[in-house]
Amino acid sequence: MDDGSLQSSSISLVCSAFWCRIRGIVRLLFNNKQTSRYVGEKNAEENKRKG
Give the pLDDT band of residue 15 (cuts 50, 70, 90).
confident
Compute CA distances 26 → 4, 13, 40, whole Å: 33, 20, 21
Q: What is the pLDDT of residue 2?
A: 59
SS3 state at 25: helix
pLDDT digits (tens, 9 = 90+) for 30-50: 888 888 888 888 889 988 988
Query: What mean pLDDT do residues 4-9 have?
Result: 78
Whether residue 28 has pLDDT greater than 60: yes
Q: What is the pTM of this model?
A: 0.47
Compute CA distances 41 → 7, 32, 34, 44, whole Å: 51, 14, 11, 5
